[in-house]
Amino acid sequence: MEYRWQIEERLNLDQEATPLRHLLQRQWLLPKRVVHFLRVRRQVLVNNEYRPVSKAVGAGDVITLNFTGDEFRTPESSYVPEQGPLTVLFENRDLLVVNKPAGIKSHPNREGEVGTLMNLVSGYLMGTTDAAYMVHRLDQETSGAMIVAKNPIVVPILDRLISTREIHRDYLALVAGIPNPKRGIWDLPLGQDPTDVRKRMVNGQNAQAARTHYRTLATNGGRALVVLNLETGRTHQLRVHLAAAGCPIVGDPLYGTQSAPRMYLHGVAQELVVPFSLKRERIVAKIPDDFPQF
């Protein structure tokens, strides 16, 4: 059988003996559905031989996972490749972290659309066996570090790592007003604004829990420079939480009052957990030149 993707990992010498099923589901965070296919099709090998998932694996074992594509609900990447400038901050076999410029969309909203970051990543990967798969998004006006998967295998793993806050995302914002207190947590549910389909609001329709950690770095006049960390990832979460606290982001076209050349929100760092190896990488996205000096 011809496989579309193959993952091969040698277990570390300090790896404790554990059932193969536990390695795949608990340590590597593969969904049960995927592990089921690997098991019934005998597409998981230990040292080049099939081994039942109930059997133990340990230090130095080589685990090979083979995939045909139907194990995943979205195996195809449908973004139109487009050549253009792309700043790659980190890349390995399974993913990239790229620095998204302000002013371009993260992904297309309709079939065949171009001019988005995912189009540029698809163009960057042309000529390889990889493709671009969405993991998370940044608003069009936001710049900074954004993770893109190169295969569908790691998408649910990265989703899980983000949802459990193993992957941290730090943002820098220039705001109109000074948070009070100057550091803390905003725990404000967010839902749809019934008066504007583009907007979200605190305790709006179908509100979901939303938590943001914040810390004021500096103040100047009536403005502040704030670093923010997402505990949840709701649409427009940082923008709405800041506005609700009386300090909207300068240049925010939906929730702000002060006009500016751009919205001053930048994804400045990712604390990335690399799938399979589980190594931690801190990836920093340089603050753009058009961000005000403070």
Paired strand residues for 178: none
74 burial (CB, 10 Å; 0-12 / 13-18 / 19+) is: exposed
Measure the CA dihedral 62/279/102/195, to 10°: 90
Annotated catalytic residue: which of 130, 139, 170, 252?
139
What span, in angstroms and rounded, lies between the C-alpha atoms of 263 and 205?
Answer: 26
Closest CA relative to residue 130, chosen from 84, 73, 83, 79: 79
- Alpha-carbon distance of 248 to 284, in angstroms, equals 24
94 in catalytic set: no
Angle at 127 between CA 124 and CA 95, to 5 degrees: 50
Amino acid in the structure at residue 69: G
* Residues carrying an active site annotation: 139
